[in-house]
Amino acid sequence: MSKAIFMPKEKDFRLAVIDRRLAGINEIYPIMSSKGGVGKTLISAVLALILRDRGYKVGLLDLDITNPSAHTALGVSIKELPEEEKGVKPLIADGIKFMSVAFYTQDKPLPLRGWEIDNVIRELLAITIWGDLDYLIIDTPPGLSDEALDAISYFRSPKPLVVATPSPLAINSVRRLLQLLNDLNGLKVLGIVENMANEPSKRVRELAEAFSIKYLGNVPLDPTIDEVIGDTSKLRNTLLYVALKGIAEKNLGPNP
């Protein structure tokens, strides 16, 4: 197995533990965005559902440390802690192995900065027992801060999927994120998904082309999505699920 793209300089025994915890995972997809409010968490949760529905062994990890919300998207209760046995076993949510810092914060604010956030990320990765997975989907912190890069720094050959919107105000921030990812030697960006776009926009397609990154497709704005968040059965009947399923079938898994 290849090593992580870049590793912290200081020594930490947890780094070796993290490597072992992730050893049985075939593909790691960090879902990233240059800013909040673009639907990154829903894309993460629904993509995990789609891959699970296709018969794959899937995990979903919420690494948005200061604002975890993937449990809300899946309708997972965080009142009870996951089972512990030489580590922490992820909760099973609709066939998906699910882990989040929200189990330990109980939806209370986590006022952390800098190294403190990275420390929580390391701890969560070190204690979680994933076992064998085909895919691990990671809901990363939004934006261009250190914690966004920290969230992908511990994984072997991660393939980030960038979520963008057609808003002109968001294009420059997406460009900066793509530049950051482009500067990490050895990192392969899976592509860009354009969310809340009823049809592909020229500006996002041109941005993908400028960085030689695949434009994976667009996901239309679904006015009913807020009504079904937390109900995975109803999420499967949304425009989001249908559009993302088409994207996954063409671009993810063997022989896409």
Average pLDDT of the chain to the nearest whole number: 89
Q: How crowded is residue 90: how many other Cβ atoms within 10 Å of its Cβ?
A: 21
pLDDT, tens digit, 9 for 90 and up, residues 90-119: 999 999 999 999 998 887 777 666 678 888
Cα(91)–Cα(106) distance, integer angstroms: 15
H or E stretch at 82: none
CA distance 193 to 248: 11
Report, as an integer, the average pLDDT of 10-22: 87
Contact 186, 156 (CB under 8 A): no
Cα gap 100→71, rounded to integer Å: 8
What pLDDT is stored for residue 1 in this prediction? Answer: 37
Placement of tokens 């960085």 in the chain: 211
Is position 9 within any domain?
no
Asked if residue 119 belongs to a domain, the reply is: yes
pTM: 0.92
Paired tokens of 176: 């900066």
Asked whether residue 25 is assigned to any structural domain, the reply reads no
CA angle 235, 75, 67 (to 5 degrees): 105
pLDDT bucket at 254, cuts 50 / 70 / 90 = low
Helix (H, G, I), strand (E, B) or coil at 191: strand
Residue 2 lies in a domain: no
The per-residue pLDDT for range 48-98, each reduced to its tens digit, is 999 999 999 999 999 988 889 999 999 999 988 888 888 999 999 999 999
107: closest CA among 141, 75, 79? 79
Supply the pLDDT for residue 128: 97
Residue 256 lies in a domain: no
Q: Find the domain containing 167 and state its range.
A: 34-251
Is residue 107 in some structural domain? yes
Helix (H, G, I), strand (E, B) or coil at 115: helix
Domain total in the chain: 1
* 237 in a structural domain: yes
Residue 158 sits in a domain whose CATH number is: 3.40.50.300
Query: Is there a domain that residue 15 lies in?
Result: no
Please state the φ and ψ torsions of residue 155, each to the nearest 5 degrees. -105, 145
pLDDT at 46 over 80: yes
